[in-house]
Amino acid sequence: MSSSTTGSGGPHILAYPYSDSGHIIPLLDLTHRLLARGLTVTVLVTPDSLPLLQPLLSTHPSSIQPLVLSVPPGKTRVAKVNAMSQLYYPILLQWFRSHPSPPVAIISDYFLGWTHHLACELGVRRLVFSPSGAFGFSVLLSLWRDLPKLDMGSPLSFPQIPHSPVFPWRQISHYYRNGKQGDPDWESNRTNILDDIASWGVVFNSFAEFERVYLEHMRAELGHDRVWAVGPLLPPEESEDSVVGPANRGGPSLLPCHEVMTWLGARHDSSVVYVCFGSRFSLPREQMDALAEALERSGVQFILAGEDTENIPESTELARLLAESVNPTRPERVRVKKLRDAALNAIKGGSSDKDLDDLLKRLSDA
């Protein structure tokens, strides 16, 4: 374990991200905003994740510190989280109790529900961080708390959630649909969500204009108003070659980031299709061939990143859909532009900035 001393800024908090890039990068973007508002932040990272922290260490050298802990064993997410709990819990207890100015709160990823018990033992507040929005969290809460009956192949409805969403069987968490009560992984997932529900507050990478009804639903479900939407969490507004700019984020790429940005800069606004199915899966060859053929037939300019899908339409039909997607007069494009503008306004003095200010006020009063 290694760490450095903190600065003399505002309230001190511990930020504990889950190590996958889709989880750690949004929490580090939130950390940047907290540091810019005068907080002192310790970030728990593994040696593999430490390079992602370097831009913040360079930008805020006096108010951020890394707490570097070794990588625990575990091949699956559940196994890794359980190993973290067993390895890190006693280490963090000792670290808190020996620190001259320990954190007043822990903000940790929603996969890390066990930190709720750590916070309770230490007498500090635990904030759940969700790298996505309130709608998805509402579904997880209802699923693991209420334990609805799931029939193989049948859709599952959530009538208690606004607009009563219905999901195909295959879209339900595989931990839920493939396990059963009593199975260790199933029980670990349920315990994790129940610990999240019991935590002091929840922070979403979302914004009120996008998810107002679901944020209000979360407040009603949790029985308190300590629910904040502070997104969208974006890279700091620096130049592309800055140490905190987008070129220095995430994992390796087949193409240098500056080449991608140069290519995009030469395209007309709203003329490029971004195709991404996630970075952890691979498309079957026949589906990738169909996708490639459709992209070529469509004539659209595109970026393809990541793979996987349940089903790709026939290439001629997909080509038609892709070509239509860049039509600026489509109603969906008009709505997307309005939503984009609302998202930017939310973090430029709007609802998300106000939520973040309220969160910091409550932490300062702790």
| Catalytic site positions | 23, 109
User: SS3 string of the chain?
Assistant: CEECCCCCCCCEEEEECCCCHHHHHHHHHHHHHHHHCCCEEEEEECCCCHHHHHHHHHHCCCCEEEEECCCCCCCCHHHHHHHHHHHHHHHHHHHHHHCCCCCCEEEEECCCCCHHHHHHHHCCEEEEEECCCHHHHHHHHHHHHHCCCCCCCCCEECCCCCCCCEECHHHCCHHHHHCCCCCHHHHHHHHHHHHHHHCCEEEECCCHHHHHHHHHHHHHHHCCCCEEECCCCCCCCCCCCCCCCHHHCCCCCCCCHHHHHHHHHCCCCCCEEEEECCCCCCCCHHHHHHHHHHHHHHCCEEEEECCCCCCCCCHHHHHHHHHHHCCCCCHHHHHHHHHHHHHHHHCCCCHHHHHHHHHHHHHHCC
Which tokens hold the place of 167?
């999901």
How far apart are the C-alpha atoms of 3 and 156, rounded to whole Å?
Answer: 47
**Distances in whole angstroms, Cα of residue 331 to Cα of each of 171, 174, 211:** 27, 35, 20
